[in-house]
Every structure is written in structure tokens, then in C-alpha cells.
């Protein structure tokens, strides 16, 4: 019975008849949409009440609509209670919101998180501490509890992105070679979910900002209001920004739309340079381009939020 992870699924020689995916995070969604477009039936099972559970509900809802529009069966609030094989087929029995439901498919992809390979490192011999899941404990300078031993990348836990591992390397290089005192504290963690259209994310979500900041402004605009998106015939999704109304700083952004990762990166650069959102609201940008949509998007800050 073909049980797969995100590496072995790339070695398939045929398109699955029905791919069942356990996990509605970015890996599950990316592979799910890809194989759906290859022609497979796809069912995604997510135990949280929504896919991409770390995102704001409105972003998750819009992403769900896009996936369903592509013909993907998305079951949230559900998790497997039993998985059994019968010849070349797999049956997944569900509990939770889909209790009593059985899903039968040809392949099963488990995309429910990662475990570090730290058990291969014999950490005990060096006295290096790991947490209960096996991730190596480090401080803000990526130092372990043992002097002169450092850990970076996925093995230390946290966001499992290539660009974060590279920035960990930058910090160690600066500190060990250049005598700097760089830390991971306060660094922006951008990422892109490479569905089609993409979700580009950086900084705080609306939920995080309202929990930790005082005077928060939020603005949303559908991609159907972006001229460039209309010209490229992909107007699904929305733009969302969160700002601090007192400092006028951009706190976070979610761009679910065509080239969402690139558009998000423009906002990240503005955040890195501490540019007030009013500069983006009032700036002159070339037409037709995605970035010119910042004019209309940031005009909505402090006003009635438009969602459709």
C-alpha cells in the first residue's frame, strides 16, 4: 500500500487515481493542488478547524474556496482514527467533524509535520540538549547548552524554510568570523505557499496584532480590484495588510493572489526600511503593475474594511 512522504511522492511514475493527504498546511496544499492539476482526485484532511490554521480565518476561507474551485475535497476539523490497506487501495476512517466517514484512495501522503533527524547525532555523548520532539535547544544566537556547539536550520525547530536556514548561517558567520553579535530576535520571517495563486506572508497576522498591539488598522482588497490581476486572468484571492496606526508602520501582510510571494516581498522591504504605510498609499507606481494596487489598498486603512 503506497504510504508517501513529501520526498517519495516526487518519485511516483504514475498519477494517483485518488490521493489522500493528511495535513492541510503548506506542503499538503501545494502537493494537493499540483496532483489535482495532474488529473488525480484529491482529498485533504486537516484536524484544525481550517486549512493553514496559523493564518487569519479570512485568508483560510479564501484559500479553501480556491482549492474547492479546483475540485479538491477539503475536510477540516477531521483526523484519521484508522488507516487500513486492501490490496492497492487505502481506506481512511475519520473522527471529529467527519466522524463516521471513510475515504478510499490509491495513495496516502502524510504531510502532518516533520521530525528532526537528531536521533542520528548521538547528542547525549556531547551533552547537547533537545526538547521532547527532538529539536535541539538554542538561544537567540543559535548557541546550544554546550559552549562552542551551535545548531541552525530545521534541526533547531521553528519555521522549516530554506531561507530561514540561510539566515541562521548568516548569523553564525557574522558572529564567529566577523565578531558581530547578531541574533534571531525580531527578524522578519517571510514565506510563500506555492499554490496557484500563491500566498505570500510576512509579519503579524491580524489576530496576532490585535493580541499584542494597541491601535491596529486592517485593510483588505480583493484581487478582482487589481488591474494587473484582471489582465492576467487570475483575479482570485485578496490582499490584506495590518498596520500600527500610532507609528504608521506595517506590521504584517498576507497576499493571496497571483505573484503573491513577490508582492509580499515588496511590503517586506518597506517593513525592513520602516517606511510608513502612508508612503505606499501616496506613492506613484507604474501602470499596469501589481504594486500600484498599494495605493488603493492602503487607502482603506482606518476606513470601512472592504472584503468583496
Q: Is 164 helix (H, G, I), strand (E, B) or coil?
A: helix
Q: What are phi and psi of 290, to 5 degrees?
A: -65, -40
CA distance 280 to 298: 7
| Strand runs labelled E in the chain | 3-4, 18-22, 41-46, 73-76, 78-86, 89-96, 102-105, 107-110, 191-193, 198-203, 216-222, 238-244, 249-257
Residue 19 CA to chain centroid, in angstroms?
21
Nearest to 109 by CA among 31, 41, 46, 26: 31
Q: Is 70 helix (H, G, I), strand (E, B) or coil?
A: coil
Copy the grid coordinates of residue 112.
502532518
Q: Does 18 participate in catalysis according to the annotation?
A: no
Q: Is 109 helix (H, G, I), strand (E, B) or coil?
A: strand
Of 107, 163, 212, 287, the catalytic one is 287
Nearest to 260 by CA among 200, 181, 193: 200
**Which single residue is written with the C-alpha cell 548521538?**
122
Nearest to 247 by CA among 276, 272, 219: 276
Residues in the chain: 308
CA distance 155 to 104: 35
What positions carry a catalytic annotation? Answer: 287
Amino acid at each position: 500500500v503506497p504510504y508517501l512522504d513529501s520526498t517519495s511522492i516526487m518519485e511516483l511514475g504514475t498519477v494517483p487515481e485518488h490521493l489522500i493527504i493528511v495535513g492541510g498546511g503548506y506542503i499538503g496544499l501545494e502537493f494537493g493542488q499540483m496532483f489535482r492539476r495532474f488529473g488525480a482526485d484529491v482529498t485533504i484532511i486537516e484536524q484544525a478547524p481550517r486549512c493553514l490554521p496559523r493564518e487569519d480565518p479570512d485568508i483560510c476561507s479564501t484559500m479553501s474556496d480556491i482549492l474547492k474551485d479546483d475540485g479538491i475535497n477539503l475536510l477540516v476539523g477531521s483526523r484519521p482514527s484508522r488507516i487500513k490497506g486492501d490490496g492497492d487501495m487505502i481506506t481512511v476512517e475519520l473522527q471529529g467533524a467527519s466522524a463516521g466517514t471513510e475515504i478510499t484512495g490509491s495513495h496516502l501522503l502524510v504531510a502532518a509535520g516533520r521530525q528532526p533527524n537528531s536521533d542520528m547525532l548521538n547528542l547525549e555523548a556531547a551533552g547537547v540538549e533537545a526538547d521532547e520532539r527532538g529539536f535541539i535547544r538554542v538561544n537567540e544566537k543559535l548557541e546550544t547548552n554546550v559552549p562552542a556547539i551551535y545548531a541552525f536550520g530545521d534541526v533547531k525547530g521553528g519555521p522549516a524554510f530554506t531561507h530561514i536556514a540561510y539566515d541562521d548561517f548568516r548569523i553564525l558567520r557574522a558572529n564567529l568570523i566577523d565578531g558581530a553579535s547578531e541574533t534571531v530576535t525580531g527578524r522578519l520571517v517571510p514565506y510563500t505557499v506555492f499554490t496557484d495563486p500563491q500566498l505570500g506572508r510576512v509579519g503579524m497576522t491580524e489576530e496576532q496584532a490585535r493580541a499584542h498591539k494597541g491601535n491596529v488598522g486592517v485593510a483588505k482588497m480583493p484581487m478582482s480590484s487589481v488591474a494587473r490581476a484582471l489582465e492576467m486572468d487570475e483575479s482570485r484571492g485578496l490582499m490584506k495588510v495590518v498596520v500600527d496606526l500610532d507609528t504608521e508602520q506595517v506590521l504584517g501582510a498576507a497576499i493571496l493572489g497571483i505573484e503573491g510571494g513577490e508582492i509580499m516581498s515588496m511590503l517586506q522591504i518597506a517593513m525592513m526600511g520602516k517606511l510608513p504605510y502612508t508612503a505606499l498609499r501616496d506613492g506613484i507606481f507604474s501602470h499596469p503593475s501589481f504594486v500600484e494596487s498599494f495605493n488603493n489598498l492602503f487607502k482603506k486603512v482606518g476606513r470601512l474594511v472592504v472584503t468583496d
